[in-house]
Amino acid sequence: MWQTDGLTDLVATATTLVQNLSNLAEDLEIWDSQEFRDFMAQRGFGLAWGDPGEFRTWMAESDESLASVMDVLFDGLSPR
């Protein structure tokens, strides 16, 4: 028979949440740093931040663009 320990589950969940928030804060500090932006720019990468809808739109446009390239390179074999 399985039993759960409510207090252990609560502590584990809270600890995970705190760690995730800490990681997110660190990631955002890196994102905002000029060093990171310069690093990405030197390598030809652009940076963009958007909400989930904007990401969905960007991803659909990127998929369409890559499918066009695949059509040219692989003579119409891209999955559509």
Give the start-to-end residue ranges of the domains of the chain: 1-45, 48-80
Query: Residue 49 and residue 26: Cα distance in Å, rounded?
Result: 16
The percent helix, strand, coil of the chain (3-state, each to 5) is 75, 0, 25
User: What band does 3 get if pLDDT is binned at 50, 70 and 90?
Assistant: low
Q: What is the pTM of this model?
A: 0.49
Task: Please say whether the beta carbons of 78 and 70 come within 8 A.
Answer: yes
| pLDDT, tens digit, 9 for 90 and up, residues 4-40 | 677 777 788 888 988 888 888 888 888 889 999 999 9
To the nearest whole number, what is the mean pLDDT of the chain? 84
